[in-house]
Amino acid sequence: MTDTVTRKERSTTAATACRISALVTLVAATAILLGGSALWLIEREEPRRTVGSWGDALWWAVTTLTTVGYGDHIPVTTAGRLIAVALMAVGVAVLGGVAAVVALVVAHAVAAAEERALEAETEAVEHRIEARLDALDARLDRIEQDLRLVAERRADTRGIDDRPINRLS
């Protein structure tokens, strides 16, 4: 049963990690497309612009989202800078999402390893207890047998009909 539970938990964790990864990827792609397109639409007519094409705007969005920011393309209008701020915030959130997926996978792996170790330790303790109980049972049986022999000898020497001592269960 533990193996089934572990497989189910692993499957649930993998599914959660996949959902978070898909969501982070979707948010990143959407932010790049919307941010780059918005910057291009806002600044394409601006004479001081550093973004020469829609492709340049997408490149700027990728470098801004990933917090690299080479500086080769920069927004020159207030609206463009606001888009940059929003894209930077989304970039930090995307990095947080990636970190969350990594942490989830690592934490689950550590928890599973700890659970296996605890199960092995529990099994070893159970075996030791069972062995000790078996030894105590054998010892108790020997003591009861010795008591019966003592009772029989006393009865023989006295001529008394003592009954053997029975173990209470």
Type of residue found at 1: M
The predicted pLDDT at position 93 comes to 92
Please report the pLDDT score of residue 67 as a whole number. Answer: 82
The domain ranges of the chain are: 2-110
Give the pLDDT confidence score for residue 17 in this predicted structure. 86
Residue owning tokens 């529990």: 122
Task: Compute CA distances 32 → 29, 83, 91, 92, 140, whole Å.
Answer: 5, 11, 10, 13, 78
Which of these CATH numbers, 1.10.260.40, 3.40.50.300, 2.60.40.420, 1.10.287.70, describes 2-110?
Answer: 1.10.287.70
Could you say which residues of the chain have pLDDT below 70?
A: 1-10, 159-169
The reported pTM is 0.62
Contact between 91 and 68 (Cβ < 8 Å): no
Please check whether residue 24 is in contact with residue 94, taking contact to mean a CB–CB distance below 8 angstroms. Answer: yes
Instruction: Output the pLDDT for position 99.
Output: 92
